[in-house]
Homo-oligomer: A and B are copies of this chain.
């Protein structure tokens, strides 16, 4: 942990400027996290704005502000923003992480720009060519959620990238959920080995060779939320579409039921009775806020990417997750296990 002045508490850097909802959710979420746990938080962004938001709240201990002049917006070109906005909150955050002023970065900003800045500033692990976002998705068994990797960092992949993502995802799942040998699946358009596109058919052979029995072959879209595999590997293009399809479909089903049953008196009464519990259930277990953000794996430094629409609860959860990751030294474990071919022998923490 970084030594911050008088204490050696974990210090989480929260970049609050780049989200769709402005800086408020980040500041609020940070205050909520401080009520829950004993870390420090460095809020990164425009100092005057952050200071104004903080004034409304009595709690200001364990909080620092790191000023950044500029903001990368959602419409900025990720790679160009690196050059054109060198003093953006994203860049300032990663520079601070690199210098050891903070232990992790939590950010809701333009995902492409975050990835570009993270890779540029922190660099990738040796032996890895591309980073991946690892997103946990709730399933029936709370202890066995589904890990989707890559959920959007690298849209264009080669078979070796997919194999690297399987290693990253498998070690991450192992550490996070205490599952010794997570089952790995390759997301494809059919269960049989001959199914897939050129990319996945080549990756299939590599995964089989590297993971042996831990690799469970192809897994289809309809089985991701069933208890067939723990880690589902795909390129970031496919992963991002899957993630957003899951979100969109869940929303649609609920809306569809509401809309179509509102004129059936008995059904409407039933749904009205169940409504409060349904809302709580969805919010607690199925909303994107539930797991906080998703880590960007492969870069040398802990980065948690939140949803662009992250609310204060999503920020709070992301900060709590980041703190746990720092304490578990998840990055060091992933990097070291990555260098060993026998991923299965990596112990859980």
Q: Which of A63-71, A160-168, A234-242 contacts B (4 or more CB under 8 A)?
A: A234-242
The answer to whether A244 and B221 touch (CB under 8 A), given A253-B250, A253-B253, is yes
Interface residues on A, range: 35 or more
Q: Is the CB of A249 within 8 A of B238?
A: no
Q: Is the CB of A278 within 8 A of B254?
A: no
Q: Is the CB of B242 within 8 A of A196?
A: no
In the assembly, how many copies of this chain are there?
2
| Residues in B neighbouring A268, C-beta threshold 8 A | 274
* Shortest Cβ gap from A141 to chain B (Å): 10
Q: Is the CB of A225 within 8 A of B249?
A: yes
The answer to whether A241 and B221 touch (CB under 8 A), given A255-B140, A256-B286, A278-B261, is yes
Interface string of A181-216 (1 = CB under 8 A from B): 000000111101011111010000000000000000
Interface string of A254-286 (1 = CB under 8 A from B): 111101110010111111111111100100011
Interface string of A283-295 (1 = CB under 8 A from B): 0011000000000
| Residues in B neighbouring A225, C-beta threshold 8 A | 248-249, 252
Q: Is the CB of A237 within 8 A of B189?
A: yes
Q: Tell me, in angstroms, the Cα distance from A248 to B221 when the chains sit together.
A: 7
A84 contacts the other chain (CB 8 A) = no
A residues sitting closer than 8 Å to B (CB atoms) are 75, 77, 112, 139-140, 152, 155-156, 187-190, 192, 194-198, 200, 220-226, 235-238, 240-257, 259-261, 264, 266-278, 281, 285-286
